[in-house]
Amino acid sequence: MIIPQADPQANYRAQQAAIDAAIRRVLDSGQYILGAETRAFETDFAAYIGQSYGVGVANGTDALALALRACGVDAASEVITVAHTAVATIAAICQTGATPVCIDIDPHTLTLDPDQLAAALTPRTRVIVPVHLYGQPADLGAICAFAERHGLYVIEDCAQAHGAVYQNRRVGAWGHLAAFSFYPTKNLGALGDGGMIVCSDPTLHARLLALRQYGWDDQRISQSAGVNSRLDELQAAILRVKLRALDADNARRRARAAQYTARLASTGLILPTPPANVLHAYHLYVVQHANRDHLRAFLAERGIGTALHYPVPAHVQPGYREQVRVVDSLTHTERAAQTVLSLPLYPELSPDAVEQVADALHMWCATQPS
Ligand SMILES: *Cc1c(COP(=O)(O)O)cnc(C)c1O
């Protein structure tokens, strides 16, 4: 039996009849861009997260870039974030002309360490972008308190954390703005590209509506410069179907994650340890081991797919290293890049498959010096 690391087709199959009907409805409607489906999905998704407005855009990277621009971020600005993330986070900041300023992660949560924020602050700092990596909420209490003290915006990168909860509120409801991706493998995945920004400030909302279409006003006259970044009706209709299943899908992810955690307790692998005040969305179940590459090859030989999120931190990637400013040393960031391994995890993954992966991990770990 082959076990993939992720399986977006299985998620489509699980709701094939409803998704096919939604697609048919759009095809028959004659409205393919920014129509009733997108408006309904924007309203429903923003309400699900706990913000007033949603703005559908072409992908998660654009969602971040437009959220930054709505805050007035430009080439003179600095944006504090982490290098242990999808390079998309950094690409979005660079798209605005601003400088990404990368600080280290907390070694336990692998998310932005709020204790590093003070050293990164300059008169040019405008925004903090915490990334809820793997579906685990960053330390939003400390991050939002720091931002408030220094008059900064918080834009949450929620691309991996649809439905995750920090204290008693969902992630995406804590920042001034939050950016989501609907890339097919994400917890809420389209059958193509898609993204959304959520916020509750009507001024930010109005700016975002203009930014996604050339800076247009109601008369389709560009009052500011914008881009073309829209969510299409087909993806919105598909996402409306899948949003209804998101909590159940996340519950399945958590159940499989709990099974991994119970089965792998005695292996010597470092396992995810979410703090008690969060509900992890388990976009990914990531273990750590110094001999990660050998383990990965061992699992591949047994038909078990894994992935690396992420093997090269953004601040050392050739396309971005010259644009990124690094504060102090990114010790934990660089360590994580060498040790992380994402195991198979998706809502349709069976308990038997998790057992098979756990058995293989036990077999390999027994060969390792302790
Ligand atoms: C997927 C992802 C993005 C970008 O989303 P796209 O829709 O692929 O542009 C941004 N940040 C993180 C952390 C992601 O995982």
What spacing in Å lies between the alpha carbon of 88 and ligand 1's midpoint? 5
Cα dist from 327 to 83, 104, 312, 315, whole Å: 11, 8, 17, 11
Domain 8-240 fold: Aspartate Aminotransferase; domain 2 (3.40.640)
pLDDT, tens only, 222-263: 999 999 999 999 999 999 999 999 999 999 999 999 999 999
Is the CB of residue 112 below 6 angstroms from any atom belonging to ligand 1? no
Instruction: List CB contacts of 140: < 8 A, sequence separation 6 or more.
Output: 130, 154, 156, 166, 167, 171, 174, 175
- Model confidence at 1, pLDDT cuts 50, 70, 90, reads confident
Rounded mean pLDDT of 336-359?
98
Query: Residues in the chain, how many?
Result: 370
Rounded mean pLDDT of 206-217?
97
Atom of ligand 1 nearest to the CA of 195: 7
pLDDT, tens only, 171-186: 999 999 999 999 999 9
pLDDT, tens only, 13-55: 999 999 999 999 999 999 999 999 999 999 999 999 999 999 9
**Residue 36: predicted pLDDT:** 98
Ligand 1 atom 2: the closest Cα is on which residue? 159
Are 357 and 343 in contact by the 8 Å Cβ rule? The answer is yes
Is the CB of residue 89 below 6 angstroms from any atom belonging to ligand 1? yes
What spacing in Å lies between the alpha carbon of 367 and ligand 1's midpoint? 36
Is the CB of residue 34 below 6 angstroms from any atom belonging to ligand 1? no
What spacing in Å lies between the alpha carbon of 237 and ligand 1's midpoint? 21
8-240 and 246-365 have identical folds = no
The closest alpha carbon to 369, from 277, 281, 294, belongs to 294
Are 249 and 164 in contact by the 8 Å Cβ rule? The answer is no
Rounded mean pLDDT of 114-139?
98
**Residue 61: predicted pLDDT:** 98
**Residue 369: predicted pLDDT:** 84
Q: Which residue has the tokens 């048919």?
A: 24
* Domain positions in the chain: 8-240, 246-365
**Percent of the chain residues topping a pLDDT of 90:** 99
If phi over 0 gives left and psi between -120 and 50 gives alpha, with beta otherwise, what is residue 203? alpha
Is the CB of residue 136 below 6 angstroms from any atom belonging to ligand 1? no
**Which of 134, 155, 181, when mutated, tests ligand 1's pocket best, judged by the most ligand atoms within 8 Å of its CB?**
181
Backbone angles phi, psi at 152, to 5 degrees: -105, 155
What spacing in Å lies between the alpha carbon of 158 and ligand 1's midpoint? 8
Rounded mean pLDDT of 216-225?
95
Is the CB of residue 111 below 6 angstroms from any atom belonging to ligand 1? no
Ligand 1 atom 6: the closest Cα is on which residue? 60
Domain over 246-365 is classified CATH 3.40.50.261: no
pLDDT at 370 over 80: no
What spacing in Å lies between the alpha carbon of 222 and ligand 1's midpoint? 28
Is the CB of residue 88 below 6 angstroms from any atom belonging to ligand 1? yes
Is the CB of residue 183 below 6 angstroms from any atom belonging to ligand 1? yes
In sequence order, the β-bridge partners of residue 342 are 286, 307
Whole-structure pTM over 0.95, yes or no? yes
**Residue 173: predicted pLDDT:** 98
pLDDT, tens only, 148-171: 999 999 999 999 999 999 999 999
Are 75 and 97 in contact by the 8 Å Cβ rule? The answer is yes
